[in-house]
Amino acid sequence: MSATNLLDFDLDGLTNWFANQGEKPFRARQVARWIHQAGVSRFDDMSDLAKSLREKLNRLAVVEPPRMLSEQIASDGTRKWLLDVGSKNGVETVFIPETNRGTLCISSQVGCALDCSFCSTGKQGFNRNLSVAEIIGQLWWANHTLTSDSSDERPITNVVMMGMGEPLANYQNLIPALRLMLDDHAWGLSRRRVTVSTSGLVPAMDQLREDCPVALAVSLHAPNDALRNELVPINRKYPLAQLMAACQRYLDRAPRDFITFEYIMLAGINDQPAHARELIELVRDVPCKFNLIPFNPFPGSDYRRSTAETVQRFQSLLTTAGLVATIRKTRGDDIDAACGQLAGRVQDKTRRTVHKLEKVA
């Protein structure tokens, strides 16, 4: 019988697992704190556990995050890790340090099946969903590495599910991972500091609102259905009217009183004044803020980045209409760690591309 990876359980799951081993619920809380707060992976180092329990855990369980394959550090301090998730697949995780916070960008899938036309991850095809251990293991690994490299006891203050993959398409494993991020016996992050980014899977947005409402970011990228159908193909199934209604519903339970709309600025495609005016009308009834993102080129892409002047003009039109609109500062682009550039290493099961970009960090 193979050992059970305890990173695969949120606190309820860990409590049930310990109960099945004849152990009391408080043992699960103890072990959760050792794993997620102290960053301990060896049961023999969990000093307040009885020796007999440590011996039992050594026989039955492991704490096994994904193994690091490579690391890159950008000129601005952004760090990117390529992590091994088996079968010649690798996912990328990015840490962005700022003055008052540190944000970790976590992947949820090996590749992505949604095939957004401007995204490097989508062009790799799709292999599989990540397990809970592979999702939360990215946080475990990054925190372990960062605390080892500095005296900062809490280098990661914010988490965004905005790496490789569509988080809501891996809902079953996303929810336990989110609960670990929020649990005071694990990571203890505020709901306001954990963000799920989605391309607009409306039924899953409604389910997230019920199960684990955290901050929500929506990859919008177009002001009308015709254009969004081209850029974000899932729009053909859940068009903008349905998406805007889902955003309004989500706000009833969201930890923030607004939805963040991510908007990639593509030269001559979605960056004109007419597009800005359409956006203003589209979100008229949705409390929101816009994050305007300069496009980050990748091999094989036909898109170009909008000029700084075009982006600023677009921002001005939105703010003049009373909307909050910021321009995202590009971070880590010299190591392909910026938004839309994560590619990892994907053995494509969708066969969407004949020549896969085996792009290793």
- Average pLDDT across the chain, whole number: 91
Residues 49 and 162 occupy one common structural domain: no
Q: Are residues 13 and 158 in the same domain?
A: no
Q: Look up the domain containing 55 and give its range.
A: 4-62
Distance CA 121, CA 177 (A): 21
| Per-residue model confidence (pLDDT) at position 357 | 32
- How far apart, in whole angstroms, are the C-alpha atoms of residue 271 and residue 274? 8
Tokens describing residue 325: 């609109």
- Give the model's pLDDT for residue 117: 87
pLDDT of residue 215: 98
Per-position b or e across 51-68, b if 16+ CB within 10 A of its CB: eebbebbeeebbbbbbee
In a domain, 186, yes or no: yes
Q: What is the mean pLDDT of residues 322-329?
A: 93
Q: Are residues 140 and 50 in the same domain?
A: no
Residue 343 lies in a domain: no
| Residue 361, pLDDT above cutoff 70 | no
**For the chain, how many structural domains are there in total?**
2
| pLDDT value for 9 | 98
CATH code of the domain in which 212 resides: 3.20.20.70
Boundary residue ending a domain (25, 40, 62): 62
Interval 212-235 mean pLDDT: 97
**Does the pLDDT of residue 228 top 70, yes or no?**
yes
Task: Say if residue 175 is in the same domain as residue 251.
Answer: yes
Domain stop point among 34, 62, 90: 62
pLDDT of 151:
61
* pLDDT attached to residue 189: 97
Q: Provide the 3-class DSSP secondary structure of residue 312.
A: helix
Q: Is residue 350 part of a domain?
A: no
What Å distances lie between residue 107 and 234, 241, 290, 325, CA to CA? 19, 28, 22, 26
Take residue 131 and report the two structure tokens written for it: 């397990």
Residue type, 130: L
Instruction: Check whether residue 128 and residue 25 sit in a common domain.
Output: no
**List 119, 166, 339, 358, catalytic entry:** 339
Residues 55 and 203 in one domain: no
How does DSSP classify residue 118? Answer: T
**336 pLDDT higher than 70:** no
10: in domain: yes
pLDDT, tens only, 83-104 = 999 988 999 999 999 888 999 9
pLDDT tops 90 at residue 12:
yes
8 Å CB contact between 80 and 71: yes
51 and 83 share one domain: no
Same structural domain for residues 47 and 182?
no
pLDDT at site 355: 34
Q: Is 166 a catalytic residue?
A: no
CATH of the domain at 57: 1.10.150.530
Which tens digit of pLDDT belongs to each residue from 105-150?
999 999 988 988 888 877 788 889 999 999 999 999 999 999 887 6
pLDDT of 229-274, one tens digit each? 999 999 999 999 999 999 999 999 999 999 999 999 999 999 999 9
Confirm whether 92 is a catalytic residue. yes
Same domain, yes or no: 212 and 186: yes
Tell me the C-alpha to C-alpha distance, in Å, between residue 128 and each of 91, 131, 161, 295.
Answer: 11, 9, 16, 27
| Annotated active-site residue in 23, 92, 134, 166 | 92
pLDDT at position 118, please? 87
pLDDT at 15 over 90: yes
Q: Measured between alpha carbons, how far is residue 331 from residues 57, 65, 123, 296 in Å? A: 42, 26, 21, 10
Would residue 231 count as lying in a domain? yes
| Tokens 């860990």, located at residue | 14
Model pLDDT for residues 156-205, shown as the tens digit of each residue: 999 999 999 999 999 999 999 999 999 999 999 999 999 999 999 999 99
Looking at per-residue pLDDT, the higher value among 182 and 332 belongs to: 182
Looking at the predicted structure, is the pLDDT value of residue 154 above 90?
Answer: no
Domain limit, last residue, from 18, 45, 62: 62
Going 327 to 275 to 220 to 251, the CA torsion angle's sign is positive
